[in-house]
Structure 1
Amino acid sequence: MELLPQPILDQLAANGRANQTRIEAGEDTIDFAPVVKLFTPDGGATWLLSETDPENPDIAFGLCDLGLGYPELGSVRLSVLKAHRGRLGLPIERDLHFKANAPLSTYAERAREAGGIVT
């Protein structure tokens, strides 16, 4: 299974371009729903990604939880996620059944309260 197929990359890029346009216009950014959920099958890490940087599509923005009880909004390199192997040597996987039902900020608020991402 491909971690990030082209339709997902396209949506992440479109969201990033939309927010870049809003920033350049002096407007507030859009609180997009996560486009994709990634996780470590042999660990507790989870990422909910909503957009990529238009100037560097290897950098994605989203809610990152390394399984240590401190989820945070931030950026991550897609190339690092694609190359990562967990304790048992397993790669990061995409949750094929994930369907976002709220904007990223709502997931972040829930994660802070729970000490980890709740989907």
Structure 2
Amino acid sequence: MILLTDDLRACLLANGLRRGADHIPVVKLFNPMGAATWLATELDRDGDTLFGLADLGFGCPELGAFSLSELASLRLPFGLGIERDLLFEAAHPLSVYADAAHRTGSIMDGIRRLAMADGVPRQSR
């Protein structure tokens, strides 16, 4: 799967030029065989370094940088790799997702809690 379309890449790069802003996540990436999830808001000029919220499934999501090429190169069982959530539409700035994730221990539980508070049903993955 292509993790970033040209439109997503352009949006992430534009956000990367406006560092310090509390951007709305542009893309959600996930491990289809595990709990790892990433919400990316910015892409550095190097075209590889993403910034956002990362959750490897150990109960301590954190803000920081991660490598697009490393995520794209991961090979999981059954020929799977990291995937992009095609249905993800962010409704809040990254700080809100980060706060919800820290309170619940995971990005996905945080997204579910926010969706319930918003009164909007969200997909489970």
* Superposition TM-score, scaled by structure 1 size: 0.87
CA distance in structure 2 between the partners assigned to 1:87 and 1:71 by the alignment: 24
Q: CA deviation at 1:90?
A: 1.4
Q: Deviations over 1:37-86 (max 9, x none)?
A: 000001110000000113x2210000000011110001001000100123
SS at match of 2:92: coil
CA contact (8 A) 1:62 1:74 kept: yes
| Aligned: 1:53 with 2:44 | yes
The CA RMSD over aligned residues, in Å, is 1.2
Return the letter of the residue paired with 2:55.
Answer: D
Q: Deviations over 1:67-118 (max 9, x none)?
A: 1111000100100010012345410111111000000011000000110003
Query: After the TM superposition, which parts of structure 1 deviate over 3 Å for at least 4 consecutive aligned residues?
Result: none
Report the structure, 1 or 2, having the larger strand content: 1
Q: How many residues align?
A: 109
* Superposition TM-score, scaled by structure 2 size: 0.83
Report the structure, 1 or 2, having the larger helix content: 2
| Aligned: 1:114 with 2:97 | no
Note the residue ranges of structure 2 that are not aligned, 5 or more in a row.
112-125
